[in-house]
Amino acid sequence: MEKMRKKIVAGNWKMNKTITETLSFFDEFSKLYDELKENQAEIIIFPPYTSLSILSEKMKNYGIFVGAQNLHEKDNGAYTGEISASMIQSAGCNYVLIGHSERRHFFSESNDLLNQKLKTSLKHKINSIICVGETLSEREAGNHFSIVNKQIKFFLKDITPDQLSKVIIAYEPVWAIGTGKTASPEQANEMHYEIRNTIRNLYSDSIANNISILYGGSVNEENSGILFHQSEIDGGLVGGASLNPKSFLKIIQSAN
């Protein structure tokens, strides 16, 4: 079947940028974006919570989406320091990142918890980027395919075929995140192929062909073009390089 997936470039700012810094990013980025002749890629930025509202308001006119880096699995209640699905939506955002490796490793988010978070997000009809990826020792032991498949299966437990239209997968090998060490285009492509097959087995051919799978881990303006043009790679989740408007824009251009 002809693939119909459009390219997606997402920027994950992590715990970076104050509101003032967010506004300077916007000023520079919007000028550069205006100069772009054409852009077919969907762009999503994940700033810290404090910038969600202002950035989504500003980006609206550009057709650029803004999302949150996490959400709590409960709708509301006594969960000091947490953010709910409806809070994210009330800030004008309709995207969320779930299960980033930093959430799994520094905040001990388990596969089971991530499944609950995804259910909550989809109940609220929020588009969800679910993150999976193996550690270096898992890859060296040759377990990378089975680890990632297991993460996908846990994530998607009880998720219906209809709900999958709001799910995007990000494959981010842990050893490539923030290390300057990228998976080779072949390594990334073969993992994406494997993930798509898992989706095919769990759901159907057409769902597997339509779901977007992004690569993340030290994506920059030099390596993005070759990565994004692999047959199974539908774009990227970019950390460090998304903080700089010029680099982020070059990465977006390379997706076209």
* Minimal distance, residue 246 CB to ligand PGA, in Å: 16
Between CA 116 and CA 69 the distance in angstroms is 16
Active site residues: 100, 172
DSSP for 134-178?
--HHHHHTT-HHHHHHHHHHHHTTT--TGGGGGEEEEE--GGGTT
CA 59 to chain CA centroid, nearest Å: 18
Neighbouring-strand partners of residue 41:
none
Between CA 249 and CA 230 the distance in angstroms is 20
Integer Rg of the chain from CA: 17
Task: Decide whether 103 or 144 has the Cβ nearer to ligand PGA.
Answer: 103
Q: 99 φ, ψ to 5°?
A: 75, 30
The residues of the shown chain that bind ligand PGA, judged by CB under 6 A, are 12, 172, 177-178, 216-219, 237-241
- Report the largest interatomic distance among the alpha carbons of the chain, rounded to a whole angstrom: 48
Q: How far is CA 225 from CA 38, 240, 244, in A?
A: 16, 17, 17
Task: Decide whether 73 or 172 has the Cβ nearer to ligand PGA.
Answer: 172
